[in-house]
Amino acid sequence: MGFNFGETLRVQIFGESHGEAVGCVIEGLPTGMPLDLQKVERFLSRRSPGKSNISSDRVETDKPKIISGLKNELLTGAPLAAIFENHDVRSGDYEAISDTPRPNHADYAAFVKYGGYSDMRGGGQFSGRLTAPLCFAGACAMQFLEHSGVHIGAHIERIGDVADCRFDPLNISAELLADIALKDFPVIDEKKSKRMIAVIEAARDELDSVGGAVECAAVGLPAGLGEPRYYGVENAVARIIFGIPAVKGLEFGLGFGFAEAYGSYANDSMTIKDGKPAFLSNNCGGCVGGITDGRPLIFRCAFKPTPSIGRKQNTVNLKARENAEIEIKGRHDPCVVPRAVPAVEAAAALAIADLMLLAKPVFGGR
């Protein structure tokens, strides 16, 4: 159950970091929908490792092998299935620590749940490697959304104590989102990129890691998507966002800022503009009561620092049942946030496309 999500657009993610491959199976995208594979691969390249000195130097092509559901770049109606073969693995890096859970990794929780049978090399099924098929599925969903005039994009909102400027809550263009996606280091304010990179490099040089946050927006959404209570748009986004490894916090609009705000400031007042109801602010992040209201949908998610660091840390030896120290070797991102940006976009696209398909189940027509 834990690897499946979606109501109408149903996706299953599978695989382990050092297994033969990771992949996904997608059901529910409209039959006959065109799928631009070059566009998909460009999207995937944004999360690929080994492209800079602030990411893991594990090198995988991230080229999907599509085994079902596509013919002549049109969806056939069969489940769309794709795999990403794992080639550049160094499983030996994990032999020495197989009995010593890494702090803040899922090692101990997985040991308890699966009785020691889980393959935790490279993080196993909990690894960020599984964001490759997530991004594939999300890239496909994005192409469906673009046909409906919906565009999704994200940027690095902060690394450590260095923050980028945030999206204008009411005025976000599809062109801005596309421009950010073209950047090697996706921020709005270019001046902040060097400072953020310096923070990541300093953490890496000190055998440490650093956390950060991503801000994501969806524009062009119709009002009325989502359901009250337990199937709202926030619920749908949260369910998938928290499936991205290292996500530990999520807020929509003003988010936790509501806790210290007064209603006279926080309430989004309305006006008539060009003969139609409009809003003067967007503190609610584009949805109220679980339902979109036509404003940009805006959320931010916080990522914990990469747990695998080179410094000595206290843990336990599960076999000997005694205290132990651990020094983690291998290849790890000193900060996962830069490569997580497309994963956040992909997750948002899948959640929103699922809601859109509930409201509009037919693509095009004959």
Q: What are the φ/ψ torsions at residue 51 (nearest 5 degrees)? A: -100, -10
Split into its structural domains, the chain has a count of: 1
What is the residue type of 237? V
**Two tokens, residue 97:** 């620590």
Q: What are the φ/ψ torsions at residue 337 (nearest 5 degrees)? A: -60, -50
List the beta bridge partners of residue 24.
13, 82
Domain annotation covers residue 364: no
List the beta bridge partners of residue 5.
11
Widest Cα–Cα separation across the chain = 73
What per-residue string of b and e applies to 139-178 under the rule 16 or more CB within 10 Å gives b? bbbbbbbbebebbbbbbbbbbbebbbeebebeebeeebbe
DSSP for 56-121?
A: ---------EEEESEETTEE-SS-EEEEEE--S--GGGGGGGTTSPPTTSSHHHHHHHHTT-S--G
**Of 284, 279, 252, 251, whose CA–CA distance to 266 is shortest?**
284
Burial class of residue 262, CB neighbours in 10 A (0-12, 13-18, 19+): exposed
User: How high is the pLDDT of residue 65?
Assistant: 95
Contact 318/99 with Cβ under 8 angstroms?
yes
Q: pLDDT by residue for the chain (366 residues), tens digit each?
A: 578 999 999 999 999 878 788 999 999 999 999 999 999 999 999 988 766 677 665 566 788 999 999 999 999 999 999 999 988 666 566 666 678 888 998 888 888 888 888 877 777 788 888 999 999 999 999 999 999 999 999 999 999 999 999 999 999 999 999 999 999 999 999 999 999 999 999 999 999 999 999 999 999 999 999 998 899 999 999 999 999 999 999 999 999 999 999 999 999 999 999 999 999 999 999 999 999 999 999 999 999 999 888 899 999 998 899 999 988 876 678 999 999 999 999 999 999 999 999 875 444 544
Domain annotation covers residue 278: yes
State how far the Cα of 352 lies from the Cα of 357, in Å rounded to an integer: 9
Domain annotation covers residue 40: yes
- Domain range enclosing 214: 4-359
State how far the Cα of 226 lies from the Cα of 176, in Å rounded to an integer: 26
Contact 26/80 with Cβ under 8 angstroms?
yes
**DSSP strand pairing (65-68 vs 4-5):** unpaired
Domain annotation covers residue 180: yes
Domain annotation covers residue 209: yes
User: How high is the pLDDT of residue 361?
Assistant: 47
Q: What are the φ/ψ torsions at residue 108 (nearest 5 degrees)? A: -70, -45
Q: What CATH number should be reported for the domain holding residue 344?
A: 3.60.150.10
Domain annotation covers residue 366: no
Domain annotation covers residue 205: yes
Domain annotation covers residue 365: no
